[in-house]
A and B are shown apart, each in its own frame.
Chain A
């Protein structure tokens, strides 16, 4: 495992292009594009103000930089550095800007969710979509980029509009049976749209692409409901995390619950619990791989030889629970993050009142595979897009990796203590982008090819 040098960034704006060749970072009002392999600066663009949002187009040719305070969007081209595009939303304001899947249109959401403006870079044409709903996830593009589902609110009723992204033709428009729609998400195969109600009611609705209601799922009533929803990459399962600290798995044939994962404070039945223990000496700040004794227990990930800081606990294990304040809105309880591994085999979850633990579930056995108990609250975790390998960070100077073979913790070897606040897997290069508060660095795993 190797680490790159540290670069500056601001607003945690740092993204790798979809083709994996370039790395774009924002530093104040500058946009820096680097080659991922050499980390040499390829292009440097200067925006009109501090950048608050940055996004690559799907074909990796353009970069969108939004300055919400100014209501401005600037687009830069990689092929033609002198090409420029500036979109001014004017006095109506701007709260969100994003690319359409084709990379030739920009969707701007105005302030107060008055409308969504669709700007075409091909024809300079502008079209409006009225009544977008301000909610958790009101807009979603299907995986293949052909359809867009948009939550709308008219006359105190929730509607979903399905647009064809090709020419923004309204394909379907239907009312949903929700009190207050909170979000929608396409299944990865693009044929089923999951729609869920706000937390006041546990209700998940499944619509077909043509607007038919396929099924309705509700686990319970009279209590805070859905907190997070996630499709498995195979579209086979829909995982629903809720405020009752449980994850319910729904199958794609009958749309009924097939499994329920609970997050008890006392873990009694799992394969392993990895507990991070603070140990000052031993592993020093060095990037040279060293075999620790525990490697006998832990077959290291992709034969990476990493210092191991986690301890394997014997069951049952008590996980620290923080009792949420019942008087405050959006209580810190329930499953807020759900993530399927790319091969569908594992599901990682985080229960908000046990913020220091990440639970990994085996989707084949429908059982708890491992619990990773950290010393501090987990900030972010993400699955490797190619391997069943989970990277997570807790805002300290370490990077944690879990794979079915075991768990490792790696100290980020930089001066001044690089605190990992967020991380992103590179889509193909077997590397990780670690984001600190105002810095970033790349972490390279040893590639499989060498072993092979």
Chain B
């Protein structure tokens, strides 16, 4: 807007505007001038103390020239046409004005740009300031936090110190207590010993006293002395007797050791036997492989038998050597076992590799028959196991039942159990039946809902139909009869574009609808009743039930059929 004004206003009041320019700041001028320029210009012009009067034109010109020169516009030099200065040379003046205007515009634009920039700057500054303040806040906060943490650390350190001192005191306490305990224990044991000694002394004294007093009561009163249980007479305590006691003792000890040695020997022998057998078997196992290694085919069973016989002999001889080795040098035995074991291990490893080879071959040949048979067998086994489990479960259940029912007479209980079992069976069957029925009902219900939906659709169609028919009827009174008829039939055909069963249904329905609507057309109420038929009617229409029998009846029939089947089953079972 400012621009627009400058172009227009400056053309008219160039001088005044330029003067005002000098005095005013650009931004203020913009706001200001828009509303106050015209009156201002007029007033300024009328003011006596104006810049240029008729008297000082020349001075003014020179001044302006000077000013222009100072502005760098040396080319245009305003000259007065007359020395008196009444006239002005127009061309340079205009040029000067133009130049000035150009300059002015340029400055204005730069000023504007600068303003914009300043605005931008100021906004960014504001932003900066806000961010600055924010950051300052943050800083303050963190500083505060830091100080808080410092404080906490200090406190914690203090606490640690106190705890450490506590620990130290506790440790000291523990040590003290331990020492106390130790001293107490020693004191206790010392005391105990002292007391025990005292007690012993007292006992001694007591017995001494008792002996001294010659306790008369202390006596044995036997009718007549008995013979020894072994029938022998008592022995004198002699050195011989003590020696014999020693001898007896050692004898019994010896016999015990002998017995234990015997048992150990037996165990040893048993183990040896096992070892021998193992060795024999090892040899037996290793022999065919060695023979095959030699190149002889081990397929022939006779040959194998012969071979094994030979090996047995070898085993016998080895057993003898083994016995010898057992007796003479254990090392030999362990060595031989180690050798055998190594052989066996090698053999097993070889077998392993062979097996893996064979497996690879098998895999390559895809001969999986043994695996399949194995799986079959497994499956069979699993089935069997399952059956057995079920059987056991059933048995357990039965037992539990029997247990749960408290009874007096067993047979009665057994019978009772039988009855309940039978009943349970029957109930189960009934339940099954019931389930089936339920499913039937569900299906019927679904059918019904479908039919209802269809009915709605058809009703809509019928409404349309009726509308068309009404129109037709109406038009029948008019001379366009044939054409209407034609259109109505068209509508019907459009309606009948359906799938096969639906057609059947709809045809029935259409009949029904036609009959009902055609007959009860006049009264809207009856037409409504016709549109929503009763349930049995609907059923009948949908052919969900036979015309003659009710749904319940039919169900019962089904039931009976089922039960008869069941009966038949039962009979078969029986």
Chain A residues at the B interface, C-beta cutoff of 8 Å: 58-59, 71, 82-92, 102-104, 112, 114-115, 119, 121-124, 126, 130-131, 146-147, 153-156, 164, 166-167, 169, 171, 189-191, 208-210, 252-253, 281-282, 291-294, 296
Contacts and interface: CB of A to CB of B under 8 A. Distances in A.
B215 interface: yes
Contact of A191 (B225, B252, B406): B252
Given A169-B241, A189-B256, A293-B399, A123 B220 contact: no
A208 B253 contact: yes
Interface stretch (B202-210, B315-323, B446-454): B202-210
B543 interface: no
A281 B249 CA distance: 61
B226 interface: yes
Contacts of B259: 189
B203 A122 contact: no
Interface string B464-502: 000000000000000000000000000000000000000
B217 A114 contact: no
Contacts of A84: 221-223
B418 to A, nearest CB: 15
Nearest to B222: A85
Given A59-B229, A83-B224, A124-B225, A171 B249 contact: yes
A130 B406 CA distance: 66
Given A112-B203, A122-B226, A169 B220 contact: no
B215 A92 contact: yes
Given A92-B210, A156-B192, 18 more contacts: A71-B217, A85-B220, A85-B221, A87-B219, A88-B218, A90-B218, A92-B206, A114-B203, A121-B226, A124-B220, A126-B220, A131-B200, A146-B248, A153-B196, A155-B197, A171-B245, A191-B256, A208-B253
B294 to A, nearest CB: 47
B176 to A, nearest CB: 21
B218 to A, nearest CB: 4
A124 B224 CA distance: 9
Interface in B385-414: 399, 402-403, 406, 410
5 contacts: A83-B224, A86-B221, A87-B219, A131-B200, A253-B260
B210 A91 contact: yes
Contacts of B196: 153, 156
A104 B235 CA distance: 15
Contact of A209 (B210, B224, B229, B252): B252
Contact of B245 (A88, A126, A169): A169
Interface centre among B215, B218, B246, B248 (most CB of A within 10 A): B218
Contacts of A91: 210, 215, 217
Nearest to A189: B256
Nearest to B403: A293
A294 B403 CA distance: 8
A114 B206 contact: yes
B229 A103 contact: yes
Given A191-B256, A210-B249, A293-B403, A121 B215 contact: no
B83 interface: no
B226 A293 contact: no
B410 to A, nearest CB: 8
Contacts of B200: 131, 153-155
B228 interface: yes
Interface in B243-291: 245-246, 248-250, 252-253, 256, 259-260
A87 B220 contact: yes
Contacts of B245: 164, 166, 169, 171
Interface of B: 192-193, 196-197, 199-200, 203, 206-207, 210, 215-230, 234-235, 237, 241-242, 245-246, 248-250, 252-253, 256, 259-260, 399, 402-403, 406, 410
A281 B406 contact: yes
B193 A124 contact: no
A331 to B, nearest CB: 20
A209 B228 CA distance: 25
A409 B245 CA distance: 51
A209 B199 CA distance: 31
Contacts of B193: 156
A245 B207 CA distance: 42
Nearest to A168: B237
Contacts of B242: 169
Interface centre among B223, B237, B249 (most CB of A within 10 A): B249
A59 B228 CA distance: 11
B249 A169 contact: no
A293 B402 contact: yes
A112 B242 CA distance: 31
Q: Which 5 pairs from chain A and chain B are nearest by CB?
A: A90-B217, A90-B218, A191-B256, A90-B215, A85-B222
Contacts of A119: 220
B234 A122 contact: yes
A445 B520 CA distance: 99
B188 to A, nearest CB: 12
A123 to B, nearest CB: 6
Contact of B406 (A71, A131, A153, A282): A282
Given A115-B207, A296-B399, A86 B229 contact: no
A122 B197 contact: no
Nearest to B197: A156
Contacts of A88: 217-221
Given A167-B241, A169-B241, A124 B222 contact: yes
Contact of A102 (B210, B215, B230, B241): B230
A85 B224 CA distance: 9
Contacts of A123: 225, 234
A290 to B, nearest CB: 8
Contacts of B250: 210
A255 to B, nearest CB: 13
